Amino acid sequence: MICHEFKHPISNQCEYLKDLTFYLRKKLQLEYLEASCRVNRTRLRQPAIINDSLIDPSDYEEILRGHQFHPADFKIDFRISTEPAPNYPIENSICTDGSKTTDGTGSAFCSFDDLGQLKTKWLGKLSQDNNIFQAELLAIHQAILHHINSKTQVKIWSDSLSSLQAILNPTSPHPLVRDIQKQLQSKNNIYIGWVKAHIGHYGNETADELAKKAINEGTIINIKKPLSSLKKSLNQELLEKWQLEWNEGKVGRLIHEIIPSPSFKLHKWSRGEIMFFSEHGPFPSYLRRFNLKPTDLCNCGDVGTPLYYATSCILTENWHFKKPSTPNLLHWKKGILKNKGARIQLGKLMEFLMNNDDLINGS
């Protein structure tokens, strides 16, 4: 429970949460909207409109469920190694890599001849919405396609452990992973091994350079956006709308000063902190405002505001903070929330106020 019974009857016991209500309600509304849109897009394959923007299901990857091969027929695990190898020869091998920067996403592979000399290379330029996981998988996919007709053993080195683990998963929902699994099922001469990144391996370093180069110079490759991109874009749009409504709201202004920018981050405020910073609690100034007390004076004779009890009242001097100047009041509030000891001290102050209503507000 977050409500507290005072001796002075309060028609709405949660009134002291009013400043936070708008903020929290909007957070829940937008989280629900985001989740609803995501479910409609990913499971029902229905378009959605968020902030006048059409979200087209065909632009995003489709989640694939279940086995695409009978478990007894899934026989590629012995050709994929996720363990460090004694050595990583590049002769007659292929190295793959993906890269993502603020400029975009790149994917690449390079193959070497029997003397370890660079023989072929491929560079693919993906969209900014594609992620590094897709880039790594695409490089492996293209390397397999390039050598699909080879009659000899094909060895592919990748530094993406997550990609290899996904390929080993017989129920992976990722479309690119499933395409790679199909290719490996049809060709038993293709082997994939894991090489640790940035250990000076010539093939891996070459593939890394090519993947970075592919961001600007690669062949444009259009693959569907990942679901993570959908969630990111939804959250971004929803936060923009939330920010606008939070700025223009009529309530919650004291909280707005402390939390000017809404986010999906949880602010772990205690019950007492909510009361203190919203100024909705066992304070005469608050009770008088709602005609729950004939005066806004504390029993000690001064106006009973949260700041007064935290800095000046003789009844609460055991938990006093240094009184801030008016220009520094907001900084003072934020400082309390950032300091563990100060929050404990404030908690004790609020506990005293809540447990001593007779002393503070009189009979």
Q: Would you say residue 273 lies in a domain?
A: yes
> What pTM, to 2 d.p., does this model score?
0.69
Cα–chain center distance at 230? 12
pLDDT given for residue 115 in this prediction: 93
Does residue 80 sit in the same domain as residue 178?
yes
What percent of the chain clears pLDDT 90, i.e. is strictly above it?
61
Per the structure, the count of domains in the chain is: 2
Note whether 273 and 218 are same-domain residues: no
Q: Provide the pLDDT for residue 5.
A: 39
Q: Which parts of the chain sit beneath pLDDT 70?
A: 1-53, 363
Domain annotation covers residue 19? no
pLDDT score for 250: 87
CA angle 47, 50, 54 (to 5 degrees): 45
Query: Residue 47's pLDDT is what?
Result: 67
pLDDT of residue 9: 40
For the chain, the helix, strand and coil percentages under 3-state DSSP, each to the nearest 5: 50, 15, 40
DSSP of 5-46: --SS--SSTTGGGHHHHHHHHHHHHHHHHHHHHHHHHHTS--
Tokens of 40: 């409609």
d(CA 333, CA 279): 12
Q: Are residues 213 and 95 in the same domain?
A: yes
Residue numbers of the domain that contains 331: 268-361
Q: Quick one: pLDDT at residue 265? A: 84
- Confidence at residue 355, expressed as pLDDT on a 0 to 100 scale: 94
Tell whether the torsion through CA atoms of 157, 159, 163 and 165 is positive or negative. Answer: positive
Q: What is the pLDDT of residues 235-265, one digit of tens each?
A: 888 888 889 989 998 888 999 999 999 888 8
Angle (deg, nearest 10), helices 329-338 and 340-355: 100
Q: What is the pLDDT of residue 222?
A: 95
How does pLDDT run across 314-360, given as a tens digit for each residue? 999 999 999 999 999 999 999 999 999 999 999 999 999 999 988 88
Residue 85: predicted pLDDT:
86
pLDDT for 59 equals 84
Do 282 and 201 share a domain, yes or no? no
Domain assignment present for residue 310? The answer is yes
Residues contacting 209, CB < 8 A, separation 6+: none
Given 224, 241, 276, which residue is the final one in a domain? 224
User: Do 128 and 215 fall into the same domain?
Assistant: yes
